[in-house]
Amino acid sequence: MSYPTQPTASHFIDGKYVEDTDGGRIPVVYPATGEVIATVYSATPAIIDMALNSAKRAQVQWAKMTGTERGRVLRRAAEIMRERNHDLSVLETYDTGKPYQETSVVDATSSAEALEYFGGLAGSLTGEHIQLGEDFVYTVREALGVCVGIGAWNYPTQIAGWKGAPALACGNAMVFKPSETTPLCALKVAEILHEAGAPAGVYNVIQGLGDVGAALVTDDRVDKVSLTGSVPTGRKVYAAAAAGIKHVTMELGGKSPILIFDDADLENAVSGAILGNFYSTGQVCSNGTRVYVQKGIKDAFVKRLCERLNDAIIGDPMDPDTSFGPMVSERQMKIVLDYIQIGQDEGATLAYGGKRLEQDGFYLQPTVFTDVTDDMRIAREEIFGPVLSVLEFENEAEAIARANDTEFGLAAGVFTADLTRGHRVAAAFEAGTCYINTYNLAPVEAPFGGSKASGVGRENSKNAINHYSQMKSVYVAMGDVEAPF
Ligand SMILES: NC(=O)c1ccc[n+]([C@@H]2O[C@H](COP(=O)([O-])OP(=O)(O)OC[C@H]3O[C@@H](n4cnc5c(N)ncnc54)[C@H](O)[C@@H]3O)[C@@H](O)[C@H]2O)c1
């Protein structure tokens, strides 16, 4: 079968596609079949140089435009993205294996929302006036310069937009490196921004593995690094950026808790656990994979959860009825299968799933473990696949202490009919993104990101502006200068 997936070239630099086949070959594999559906080449030093020089030059011109002019370009890009939603969603499905049922409403949609939101904000990014008697200070919100974006493989179109939109709104230029596992979608974001009127070089995409990412992070031309990836990669990238005193945003991994109290609406709690564990085949950073259920409701919860999992439609991701697709890669599937074995070896009970499907592609069953204890590896380590652990608890104080007993702090959720308790528990959570009676929603208007080892900085919302700009203050004296001698 032939797929409409081979890009014009591997990189998009200075407003056009660029190829250099001297770089290492990166095959793009369709997770639903295991077939190679496109090939790109890793950026050579010459390509990295070209992208950074282009961004450096373009940024000066872009920052001179008014915020309103920049915003217009971003909002036009959002419109184009919406018009092409079908094609972009199909490409996202080929790149990641996520069902079209999801990609057609989430990925390009969410990238377009970021372009629209930050496009709308761009004209109102101002400083302030601070009166000091007759003297005064005014502040100017300035761009940082050249920003590097480095993406994970689970939401390639969204991540390219979530990083690009606030960066460009503030007057920065971007060099974006998608994950080597899903290199296709970011190229389309670059194409659309260029078509919408972004000057050549303002948004560039180059391909490569960790070595290309590392070369970007350590380059003197780069002022800021925004990474979406795992905690181990985050530690390396943060350290490398620190050596150059560069700004960072770190959107890293998690092992988030969901607390379900006896008084919770059972059906909603099950829905929340499904959204927080099996959407995108469990490959979501904020997933609530430690599901703490109060003793009185536990058996009913597990029974209903397993019934609802029987309704998952696993199959061809392009079929609009399919609601559960393959894992992104053979490698990730094997990692998850290893954890499923570890869970059984540790003594947890496999209550649902746990097997690879006997067909082409990297398909696993949605998997539920019960009788999980806090010390088990499946309850402590990020699995990044469709594996839910049920843990039992007796009271609120115990549940909060156990929920917070982790190095991660990306997200946390609570299901209860008692609103006072809902707010009390949310206040006690050591996590950046919390939910009461729902889970895993990430609207562009709200800050998204983690505390503790899960990250630094926030994406989305007005808050993201602080992470893509800096304040200059200018003191203006109205009288003579007083000096001691
Ligand atoms: N917090 C969030 O918003 C968020 C969102 C999605 C995914 N994630 C996390 O991402 C992880 C899954 O994605 P992944 O497997 O692609 O992560 P990863 O850490 O393996 O790779 C992330 C990116 O970093 C690059 N990279 C690797 N080593 C590098 C280095 N030394 N210097 C610079 N760049 C380097 C990779 O090429 C890739 O583009 C999970 O841990 C998940 O929780 C977090």
pLDDT digits (tens, 9 = 90+) for 439-482: 999 999 999 999 999 999 999 999 999 999 999 999 999 999 99
pLDDT digits (tens, 9 = 90+) for 301-351: 999 999 999 999 999 999 999 999 999 999 999 999 999 999 999 999 999
Instruction: Give the ligand 1 atom nearest the CA of 230.
Output: 41
Best of 175, 179, 454, 460 for a ligand 1 pocket test (most atoms within 8 Å of beta carbon): 179
Alpha-carbon separation of residue 453 from 235, 252, 255, 326, 413 (angstroms) = 9, 8, 11, 28, 18
> Hey, how many other C-beta atoms are within 10 angstroms of the C-beta on 471?
11
Residue 153, ligand 1, Cβ within 6 A: yes
Give 125 Cα–ligand 1 centroid separation in angstroms: 30
pLDDT digits (tens, 9 = 90+) for 218-260: 999 999 999 999 999 999 999 999 999 999 999 999 999 999 9
Instruction: Give the ligand 1 atom nearest the CA of 410.
Output: 1
Closest CA to 196 of 285, 359, 73: 73
User: What's the mean per-residue pLDDT of the chain?
Assistant: 98
Query: Which pTM value belongs to this model?
Result: 0.97
Rounded to an integer, what distance in angstroms lies between the CA atom of residue 249 and that of residue 78? Answer: 23
Handedness of CA 343, 345, 347, 353 (dihedral sign): positive
**407 catalytically annotated:** no
Closest CA to 280 of 8, 476, 95: 95
Q: What pLDDT does residue 4 have? A: 85
Closest CA to 150 of 53, 254, 236: 236
Residue 180, ligand 1, Cβ within 6 A: yes
Residue whose token pair is 């001179």: 64
pLDDT digits (tens, 9 = 90+) for 9-43: 999 999 999 999 999 999 999 999 999 999 999 99
Please name the residues in contact with 318: beta carbons below 8 A apart, sequence gap of 6 or more. 32, 90, 93, 100
Instruction: Give the ligand 1 atom nearest the CA of 150.
Output: 39
Closest CA to 111 of 142, 74, 68: 74
Give 419 Cα–ligand 1 centroid separation in angstroms: 36
Query: Which one of 285, 298, 396, 434 is the catalytic residue?
Result: 285
Residue 403, ligand 1, Cβ within 6 A: no
Give 339 Cα–ligand 1 centroid separation in angstroms: 19
Give 262 Cα–ligand 1 centroid separation in angstroms: 37
Mean pLDDT score, 405-433: 98
Instruction: Return the H-helix or E-strand segment holding 16.
Output: strand 16-18
How big is the CA angle at 171 (ends 165 and 175), to the nearest 5 degrees?
A: 60
**459 catalytically annotated:** yes
